[in-house]
Amino acid sequence: MLSPQSHPLIEATLPLVGERMPAIATGFYSRMFAAHPDLFDGLFSRSNQKSGVQQQALAGSIAAFAAHLVKDPTSAPEIMLSRIAHKHVSLGILPEQYDVVYRYLFESIAAELSDVITAEIAAAWTEVYWLMAHALIKQEKGLYAAAASDKPLAPWTVTRKEPAGSDAVTFTLVPSDDTPASASRPGQYVGVTVRMPDGIRQVRQYSLSAGTDTGTRVFTVKLDNDGEVSPVLHRDVQVGDQLTLSNPCGDITLDAGDGPLVLASAGIGCTPLASILRSLVETGSERTVLVMHAESTIERWALREQMRADVATLQTAELELWLEEPGAQESARPGFMSLDAVSIPDDASVYLCGPLPFMRAMRAQALASGIPAARIHYEVFGPDLWLASA
């Protein structure tokens, strides 16, 4: 709960802080990494720092949290906090690391707001930070406690490496030791730690693309030639190698119930929805399911065999496919996905995953068709830049 003395100060300074938050975030990361370069090893993404998306995500989340407190000082933005907490758990974030963040974040705030900051303003924003931090620590503590082991990260061994479409690879792994493995829920992801050629470990989150068995992990990785981690996974990681995996994380999972489902994906965004679809097959679900996928060419659809087989197995499922370049033998709609010619049940739950422009467009179309926002779920790869506006 935001205190009465801090509320007017946050409300008055929020526009200025929001305007300067990108610069504050940039200064924060520069200060923190100068003092703790080791944080790049197995924690922060060098690619996201270089591109600036991590700075945008931090700035957006703090500004969104403060704006929520101004609007309703007695509550917190639970969806945003849950999304961040799951991502933190996939990295093995610990409570004491929030003290490190606080130090360098507020050094940056003091520098960027030196023309206006007072002790009272600093105290108010300190309150906002620790309200957010303690809310995240509480959620993360619960997620760690619910896991099958007190180890947030464990070694897994690659047992299969198979092509998936023209530019993706599916990895199957089994535990490398006796660390108890947590079951996953359809739609979740794992943090995957990979050692780079220079020795630094980098972590990326990959959706589990099939199965919820505790004895295996299956995820599919699209090659990004300009990326840092996916080329190493595609080129260097082989059967028999070990990777470090987190417990399954992610709050965009299949809701219980028997209502109709719409699973809409584009590109490699099919991975979490393929997991949801596979779980429906494994449980013998009779839910009505509309699977929609958009791709540039049929060859690039990474999980087409798996998803087509699962749709065929479910008597109540159907598939709609959009291809930018339809082949002569493919029954697909040309161009980009659209709901204009698709009938969606009024009581459907919609799951979206793919590039951000795709999800924005599909969410807008789903809302326009009458689907309530609460029944539209989305998964973002990488830092979530949509949190403040979704």
Is 50 exceeded by the pLDDT of residue 95?
A: yes
Identify the active-site residue in 112, 127, 140, 228. 140
Residue 9 pLDDT grade (very low, low, confident, very high; cuts 50, 70, 90): very high
Check whether 229 has a pLDDT greater than 60. yes
Residue 140 falls in the annotated catalytic set: yes
Per-residue model confidence (pLDDT) at position 117? 93
Structure tokens, 203: 């972590």
User: Hey, how many other C-beta atoms are within 10 angstroms of the C-beta on 382?
Assistant: 16
Q: How many helices and strands in the chain, by DSSP H and E?
A: 10, 12
**pLDDT reading at 231 higher than 80:** yes
Tell me the average pLDDT across 210-214: 75
Percent of the chain topping pLDDT 70: 96
Query: pLDDT > 90: what percent of the chain?
Result: 77
Confidence tier at 269 by pLDDT (50, 70, 90): very high
Residue ranges of the domains in the chain? 7-146, 153-246, 261-379
Q: Looking at this protein, which amino acid is placed at residue 92? A: G
Active site residue 78: no
End-to-end alpha carbon distance in the chain: 23
**Weakest-pLDDT range from 63-67, 113-117, 197-201, 381-385:** 381-385
Q: What residues pair up with 153 in beta bridges, in sequence order?
A: 246
Residue pair 273/351 in contact by the 8 Å Cβ criterion: yes
User: Which residues are registered as beta bridge partners of 172?
Assistant: 160, 218
The bridge status of strand 317-323 relative to strand 289-295 is parallel
Whole-number Å distance between alpha carbons of 263 and 33: 40
Q: How far is CA 258 from CA 41, 141, 347, in A?
A: 44, 32, 11
Q: What is d(CA 265, CA 272) in angstroms, rounded to the nearest whole number?
A: 9
Separation of alpha carbons 333 and 320, rounded Å = 8
User: Which of 243-247, 253-257, 369-373 is least confident?
Assistant: 253-257
Q: Are 332 and 245 in contact (CB under 8 A)?
A: no
Neighbour order of strands in the sheet with 168-175: 201-207, 189-195, 242-246, 153-164, 168-175, 217-222
pLDDT at residue 290 tops 50 = yes
- Between 210 and 229, the more confident residue is 229
The confidence band for 385, taking pLDDT boundaries of 50, 70 and 90, is: very low
3-state SS assignment for residue 358: helix
CA angle in degrees (0–180, nearest 5) for 336-371-187: 70
User: Each residue of 15-39: pLDDT tens digit?
Assistant: 999 899 889 989 999 999 999 999 8
Local structure of 284: helix, strand or coil: coil
Strand segments (E) across the chain:
153-164, 168-175, 189-195, 201-207, 217-222, 242-246, 261-266, 289-295, 317-323, 333-334, 349-353, 376-379
Other C-beta atoms closer than 10 Å to the C-beta of 330 total 11
Spatial separation of the C-alpha atoms in residues 78 and 327, rounded to whole Å:
45
Q: Which pLDDT score is estimated for 206? A: 96
- Euclidean distance between CA atoms 324 and 85, whole angstroms: 37
Grade residue 328 by pLDDT with cuts at 50, 70 and 90.
Answer: low
Query: If you average pLDDT over each of 47-56, 68-77, 105-114, which comes out highest?
Result: 105-114
Contact 299/325 with Cβ under 8 angstroms?
no
d(CA 141, CA 121): 30
H or E element, residue 78: helix 78-91
Residues in the chain: 390
Pick among 3.40.50.80, 3.40.190.10, 3.40.50.1820, 3.90.330.10: CATH of 261-379: 3.40.50.80
- Give the pLDDT of residue 53: 76
pLDDT at 386 over 70: no
Residue by residue, DSSP assigns 14-39 as HHHHHHHHHHHHHHHHHHHHHH-GGG
- Kindly indicate the confidence band of residue 327, based on its pLDDT and cuts at 50, 70 and 90: confident
| pLDDT for residue 382 | 60
| pLDDT at site 381 | 67
153-246, what's its fold?
Answer: Elongation Factor Tu (Ef-tu); domain 3 (2.40.30)
Question: How confident is the model over 135-178, as pLDDT tens digits?
Answer: 999 999 999 999 999 999 999 999 999 999 999 999 999 999 99
pLDDT-derived band at 282 (thresholds 50, 70, 90) equals very high
Which residues are CB-neighbours of 256 under 8 A, at least 6 positions away? none
Average pLDDT of every residue of the chain: 91
DSSP letter (8 states) at residue 41: T
Q: Which residue has the higher pLDDT, 174 or 345?
A: 174
Assigned superfamily of 7-146: Globins (1.10.490.10)
- Which residue is catalytic, options 29, 98, 129, 189? 98
CB-count exposure of residue 71 (10 Å: 0-12, 13-18, 19+): exposed
